[in-house]
Structure 1
Amino acid sequence: MRPDLLKRVEALLPGTHQRPEVQLLYRMMRDYPQRGGKGVRSELLLLSAQAHGVQPGSAAWESALWLATALELFQNWVLIHDDIADDSEDRRGQPALHRLHGMPLALNAGDALHAYMWAAVQQAGVPGAFSEVLDMIHRTAEGQHVDLAWVEHREWQLHPDDYLEMVRLKTGYYTVVVPLRLGAVVAGRTPDPRFEAAGVALGAAFQIRDDVLNLIGDAALYGKEIGGDLLEGKRTLIVLHWLDHAPADQRATFLAQMARTRSDKDPQQILTLLEWLRESGSVQYAQEVANRLGDEGLTLLSAALAGLPGQDAAGQILTLAEQLTRREA
């Protein structure tokens, strides 16, 4: 997160309270924002605002900074809830919030951050911003619900297209589509309709890369546990493609482990499953899909940005979008 946005987060959140329990809440609300993060979504918003003609230092730029702050708060309260839902161990190289303080307190801290996200939107004072952020939450919740429902219902009769439909909702809108649209809105412009198709393609490519890194990434750079998706029973593009082609005995072993809770899974069996996935062609398949979606998204995005006044910022958006779809950490 940019230092100036973190300062806004810190200024917006309450600081001290005489009751130690409430003081703990305030500290927990600051925890994930203070851990850092790449700040990709807020950066896309600010670059989009500049591409649409907003000048740094202007009143519109001040509004853009508040909307970027709102995106950072959104990202952090969603991560708190996501970690609870997945029972994750780590976040950004440290124990997840619910691991430190228990699920009820972490859930409440996420709820509180959600409220302050809307305070940041209010500070921006941009007509149309409220509906954009609301739509972002709706789409993200829909995608998250599909993802969680598969786990809850132990659903494995799925295929790669099911995954892509889910991830376009869960990741595409809040990662790319809405940041780009908010940049246009804060400039007083109508967002280009091509932002949606470009953003869902780029967001899906970004998430697929994340799934790949969860299997083969460097834990120190990735910031989450390697293989965590298997422990959490995540339906990823890699796994669904592998299941379509796996030998019957390997498939049976996999499904037997996935029928268990995270704590009941056999660590040695999970390591074996990791090796099967890494040695298969499914990782390469997922990378190829990410490349294709990334190329499609970049082509659409380039066309949408071509006529905007801030071409330097437009070029930076394309560079950042390409980095997202080719990420190695």
Structure 2
Amino acid sequence: MRDELLSRVLSLLPTGGDRPELRAYADMLRDYPTRGGKGIRSELLLASARVHGAQPGTPAYEGALWLAAALELFQNWVLIHDDIEDDSEERRGRPALHRLHGVPLAINAGDALHVSMWEAVLRAGVPGAMEEFLFMIHRTAEGQHLDLSWVEHGEWTLHAADYVQMVELKTAHYTVISPLRLGALAAGTAPEMAFTEAGLALGTAFQIRDDVLNLAGDPAQYGKEIGGDLLEGKRTMIVLRWLEDAPEEQRRVFLEQMRRDRPAKDAAVIAEIRTWLLDSGSVADAQDYAHAQAARGLTLLETAFQDAADPQAARELLAVLRDLATRDA
């Protein structure tokens, strides 16, 4: 399925041109999509389509495949821009696109993938899909604004509830809620109301797990630089809870480093801060919260899928979400 989705994504992108610059442009658009990735969101969308009765080989499933390709394109153009905004070094084990080609060209490549996303949505021909993508992108942009504005303005007087609100906007909608809803729409079914509450809980659990992996994950499996969130000054639940009880000297050192731009941060001090966080109870607290949110979200979906058109597909979808919310890589 990954190969089929990638083929659809690439079919919407230019193949080259009569100038070396345009051939380089085509290569840039293909870069992030061909780096791999787990394809979690498109997998959820297709699973949701099957749960609601859209079987492979049917026109409804064909529409779901185009929406899944659109979601892949959304993910990739957002990642290009996100890497620029965060001044990230790596993406999926290789230098970020702007590190390879410079910021202006990378922004332009992200914009081009954004347009291709809408082309995929149009090809799907699924009623309500356009509106769902619009709602998803608006919420994601709002969450990204919260995240970026806290960094831009040096805001650290925040609490776990602030983090949760940001994550619900930035992560939950495009990671869980919209894939579930888009799958139902592709099958010609009205999405369950429970998808929103369940998706908020599961999306939050997913992001907390990602935050933990950014501190303690396996670099070969994680696909991003370990400790990158600290270098980028991310406000995570782990950091915010640690700050509430951190020793005064550690807190002072942390805030002094966070006032610096990424290139000016001291790598040795950041490594020490990472150790403080890993040794603190804030990691376990965040993991406990994620576990509770995952359990609540899965329970809501189990109830919503009691009368699923395809019970086996429902069980498979729940298994994917369970792995997503408790993953170790």
Same fold (TM over 0.5): yes
- Cα deviation code 1:260-317 (max 9, x no counterpart): 0000001111011011101101111111011011011101111111111111111011
- In structure 2, the partner of 1:132 is 132
- Give the C-alpha shift of residue 13 in structure 1: 0.8
- Give the C-alpha shift of residue 20 in structure 1: 1.7
SS at match of 1:14: coil
- In structure 2, the partner of 1:206 is 206
SS at match of 1:289: helix
- In structure 1, the partner of 2:74 is 74
- In structure 2, the partner of 1:266 is 266
Look up the equivalent residue of 1:156 and give its one-letter code: W
State the alpha-carbon separation in 1 of the partners of residues 109 and 139 from structure 2: 22
- In structure 1, the partner of 2:293 is 293
Uncovered stretches (5+) of structure 2, i.e. residues with no partner = none
State the alpha-carbon separation in 2 of the partners of residues 111 and 167 from structure 1: 24
- In structure 2, the partner of 1:149 is 149
SS at match of 1:192: coil
Look up the equivalent residue of 1:153 and give its one-letter code: H
- In structure 1, the partner of 2:99 is 99
State the alpha-carbon separation in 1 of the partners of residues 10 and 275 from structure 2: 43
- In structure 1, the partner of 2:10 is 10
- In structure 2, the partner of 1:187 is 187
- Cα deviation code 1:92-147 (max 9, x no counterpart): 00000000000110011000000000000011011110000111100100000000
Contact 2:16 2:25 in 1 (8 A): no
SS at match of 1:285: helix
- Give the C-alpha shift of residue 212 in structure 1: 0.2
- In structure 2, the partner of 1:116 is 116
Look up the equivalent residue of 2:177 and give its one-letter code: V
- In structure 2, the partner of 1:234 is 234
State the alpha-carbon separation in 1 of the partners of residues 266 and 183 from structure 2: 47
State the alpha-carbon separation in 2 of the partners of residues 123 and 185 from structure 1: 14
SS at match of 2:289: helix
State the alpha-carbon separation in 1 of the partners of residues 328 and 270 from structure 2: 23
- In structure 2, the partner of 1:282 is 282
State the alpha-carbon separation in 1 of the partners of residues 156 and 116 from structure 2: 38
Residue 244 (1) aligns with residue 241 (2): no
- Cα deviation code 1:3-56 (max 9, x no counterpart): 100011111111121122222111101000000100000010001000000111
Runs of 4+ aligned structure 1 residues displaced above 2 Å come to none
SS at match of 2:146: helix
**TM-score with structure 1 length normalisation?**
0.99
- In structure 2, the partner of 1:19 is 19
Contact 2:140 2:169 in 1 (8 A): yes
Look up the equivalent residue of 1:270 and give its one-letter code: I
- In structure 2, the partner of 1:164 is 164
Uncovered stretches (5+) of structure 1, i.e. residues with no partner = none
- In structure 2, the partner of 1:40 is 40
- In structure 1, the partner of 2:305 is 305
Look up the equivalent residue of 1:295 and give its one-letter code: A
Look up the equivalent residue of 1:214 and give its one-letter code: N
- Cα deviation code 1:133-174 (max 9, x no counterpart): 111100100000000000001000001110001001100000
Count of aligned positions: 329
CA RMSD across the alignment = 0.7
Contact 2:66 2:123 in 1 (8 A): yes
State the alpha-carbon separation in 2 of the partners of residues 213 and 187 from structure 1: 35
